[in-house]
Structure 1
């Protein structure tokens, strides 16, 4: 969970309710899902841990103080500098011009200017901490959000955002004294080495420069040593954010802008001009309000919280969370604050009502329903099956349920079947790594992965797993369903169809199932040496087994013949219920 450092005196001043002891702070921290981690040291810095990751607006002194102040009855702050779909704030000639060359490499950039009193140590430290927390936690280690601070007085607007040649473009990066090419920065600068993986394979590298050609930064890696060397005493800062998701950038920019306003700075909007159409037009000014309102039925709020709340109580509770709300036709509708973007469902509204009321508002009550834990029929059936497999000489394995398309598809099927296989496999949206981009569609791939690194073990190898697989399934509201499958594999010189057929026969006999076989054309197996399992009284296959194709074994680097099979346990258990067999 995020942990931030704040100057204690600055936090108390921003809360505005007078002196507070550590004990008093701990009493009000829960409204921000926070707790005191370490008391202030000799420098006045205290550490606060946030117990949730969906409120990045709390990861700063100003953001934390805002929530505490409002919950204690303070006034809601006003941020008149925001534009929205119906208004556009004056940018006073400050703008960012985006070149089409960045569209395929790192397409989005936003920014604004903050002016006021010269920044002191506490403000600068908090800005840098906000930058680090937002880009590391919220921005996936700068991959989707990177933020830069610059000395606005030295910048000649408009700022230009373009793709640059990594070999010929040179500037002096922060904390260095000699000019380096963008490619050299990746090799020689500590930040370049740390974040090279984000950009090193791109044909062009992102670059920010002002209208005179003075370079601001090479995002998401490093600022320049001239315009990007912000220090104490600067009174006008240009804040920019680049990344791969526009809404995330706008949200992060809103958070920093609201923090700056709460610290007493004037936020001056900056226009952004794109050569292509964006969800908010080709040109808009930032900070930009893009949040969508959310509503929740009052009956749902009362039901989930277990208390019949009056309309006035709901509005007061939301007000203590900094949320403007109204009630009409039995539902409460909220206007999401500019610095928040975590309302995805009516339950999120309910949660804020609960926090706004405070835990003391709800009287403790003993549970009225008592239940006994027990195994599901599927789990009991799976345990019997595992015991049977062990008795047949198999060793149980346990694998991850996420993996790569290469393992789950490319190593199993011929090239002309890849597109169809990918289309029917459940993929992870926005994965952190391509190694965990797909949900497992079959247990056999996992067993092959284990066999591919087991050549030094004494043969025969008999392994199995009872585990989850996922498939696309339109009748389900999620479009997918999760199944429990038995997968088993044998690697040995004598492994052939007769061997695996006898084992399938033993498994189904001892589990009490009558079945028949029919030929299958699963390309993972050798043609003519594979079969589908069809249970008595049905025409749907619940499993498949056979001799694995040499192409599959070569793809995994396996030198020994292998047989494998996979059976769906829900199908077997459902058959027990229909036939009255033993389970």
Structure 2
């Protein structure tokens, strides 16, 4: 999770009051933040990836105000007279702009702005690949603003932090940010820039802004931009930054900037209204196990900045704050209600536990899985445990698999974009990660996989094993599988079969009673080469539930 550092005096100034340490820690807990360091002057906390509005002190102060019932700043919207136009930029097609007027900045405020920008880049923006943020002193810019593509060799500007002009291609080569993020645009024939009406380059997106329009403590009006691959996300990022900047000053104003694209589409930012939810309190109470009244629920929602627009019987019409990009459905609102109500209070209304319908016992698949683990350990294998969430490129694309994975619609990390469809990539990952610590591996894992077949989700419990050393062959895998199955009193049979990512001539299907229950084979050398691993790897996977049913028949 992103680690956020703030100065306590700055927080208290934004709040308009001081808080003792215990109260502040309790409030952070309600916001799903974990305290890492707490001194007399500084607070360091981890914020959830799904709450980017808390990536700087301004958003934290606003959230604490709502929890305490303190008066929050209502958005004051004015006309700013800033127009923006966007050309068709292949590879980074979307941009959104916003303006915040009358801000009051000091050195700590600038540090918080930079922190917010970088944390958004690293998380929500996927290290700038998906989206990025830029900020400029509006009084040093001549609107209208243009997002366009230009020649990287003939176009020059003075990049932020440097005292000389450079061509755009030189920026990629000679600046720290250019070397770090240049790969995002270096393959484009023309580079995306943001420029004003006089042709001055404000930013080489998404690499580095201009020194000539940088934000300082003297800046009073700020232009915000976000460029990226998704129109919703660039508006999200511009909205988060604009609303956090809005907390910096007593007379601040938000100005909506409309960006007109070549194809006639118009994108406006910042967003002034959040997601509108119809929340059934009966469903909420059933979900969280409480008996909250409508009056209580409306008060609890307000603690998280929701506007309650209407109540009809047990139905609440509420609108999330515009910067709460994590609120997607009524379930998210239900979570906020539960947190505001207090997890420690849930269940207090229950006078007794619900009556049992049958005696408790261990699930047979879990019991059998435990038994299989004990067999594998007795065979000299070490157990590993990988996340069920994985990356589609590693799980499917690397092996050229023809399987439909279950993909996360809006992942918070590129590391976890889908649910694993098999155990082999995880086992292989453990071996590759530890290749310099050992030369001989015998590992196994028992876990669940899931994938889509003919439009339906298929879930399976599997046991997987991996053997790797300089002399490992298919024979080692066959021997391990045979020992495991024989220990159960069954006799396996092996037949020719292909599995994507494994050597076809050194792969076999595992059968019992003429039913295929799994596979065993050597990982293809091309895949090992891509992973920079120089020893053969033999893997096997068996469907635990199929194995259990066969065992019950015998």
Q: TM-score, normalised by structure 2?
A: 0.80
Name the SS of the counterpart of 2:211 in structure 1. coil
Pick the structure with greater CA Rg: 1
Aligned-pair distance for 1:339? 2.0
Q: Aligned match of 1:334 in 295, 318, 334? A: 318
Deviations 1:295-338 (A, max 9, x none): 33212333344442221111122223321223224222311112
Q: Does 2:281 correspond to 1:298?
A: yes
Residues 34 and 48, structure 1, Cα contact 8 Å, conserved in 2: no
Q: Is the 8 A contact 1:491 1:563 kept in 2?
A: no
**Alpha-carbon separation, structure 2, partners of 1:26 and 1:444:** 42
How far did residue 490 of structure 1 move? 8.3
Task: Name the structure 1 match of 2:444.
Answer: 465
**Structure 2 Cα separation of the partners of residues 305 and 324 of structure 1:** 22
Q: Is the 8 A contact 1:273 1:284 kept in 2?
A: yes
Q: Secondary structure at the match of 1:138?
A: coil
The 3-state SS of whatever aligns with 1:65 is helix
- 2:103 and 2:245 in contact (8 A); partners too: no
8 Å CA contact 2:273–2:321 kept in 1: the answer is: no
1:206 and 2:217 are equivalent in the alignment: no
What's 1:513 paired with? Answer: 490
How do residues 540-555 of structure 1 correspond to structure 2 at under 5 angstroms?
540-545=515-520, 552-553=524-525
Q: Which moved more, 1:506-515 or 1:369-378?
A: 369-378
SS of residue in 1 equivalent to 2:212: coil
Aligned counterparts of 2:424 and 2:45: Cα–Cα separation in 1? 43
Equivalent of 1:98 in 70, 80, 86? 86
Q: For 1:457 and 1:559, locate their aligned partners in 2 and report how far apart those are by CA, in whole Å.
A: 13
Please show how residues 366-515 of structure 1 align to structure 2 within 5 Å. 376-388=363-375, 395-396=381-382, 398=384, 400=386, 418=400, 421-425=401-405, 441-443=421-423, 450=431, 463=442, 465-468=444-447, 470-474=449-453, 479-487=457-465, 504-513=481-490
Query: Is the aligned partner of 1:140 residue 2:126?
Result: yes
Q: How far apart are the structure 2 equivalents of 1:360 and 1:272?
A: 47
Corresponding position of 1:85 = none
Alpha-carbon distance between aligned partners in 1 of 2:406 and 2:101, rounded to the nearest angstrom: 49
- Partner in structure 1 of residue 12 of structure 2: 12
Change (3 A) 1:560 1:52: closer
Q: Are residues 1:151 and 2:134 paired?
A: no
CA displacement at 1:49 relative to structure 2: 2.3
Distance 1:95 1:406, change over 3 A: closer
SS of corresponding position for 1:194: helix
Aligned equivalents of 2:296, 2:39: Cα separation in 1: 35
Query: 1:568 is matched with which residue: 523, 533, 543?
Result: 543
The 1:79/1:369 distance shift into structure 2, 3 A limit, reads same
1:68 counterpart = 2:64: yes
1:96 Cα shift?
1.9
After superposition, the C-alpha distances for 1:462-486 in whole angstroms (9 at most, x for unaligned) are: 9452444634234897x35243133
Equivalence for 2:167: 181
RMSD, aligned CA: 4.4
CA distance in 1, matches of 2:95, 2:351: 52
Aligned-partner Cα distance in 1 for 2:374–2:20: 60
- 1:260 and 1:266 in contact (8 A); partners too: no
Moved more, 479-488 or 171-180: 479-488
- SS of equivalent to 1:114: strand
Deviations 1:476-527 (A, max 9, x none): 97x3524313346688989677x87676555433313366666546574556
Instruction: In structure 2, list runs of 5 or more residues that go unmatched.
Output: none
Within 5 Å, give how 1:192-203 maps onto structure 2: 192-203=178-189
The structural deviation recorded for 1:284 is 3.4
Instruction: Determine the structure 2 residue equivalent to 1:235.
Output: 220
Q: 1:165 to 1:373 in 2, by over 3 A?
A: farther
| Shift, 1:214, TM fit | 0.4
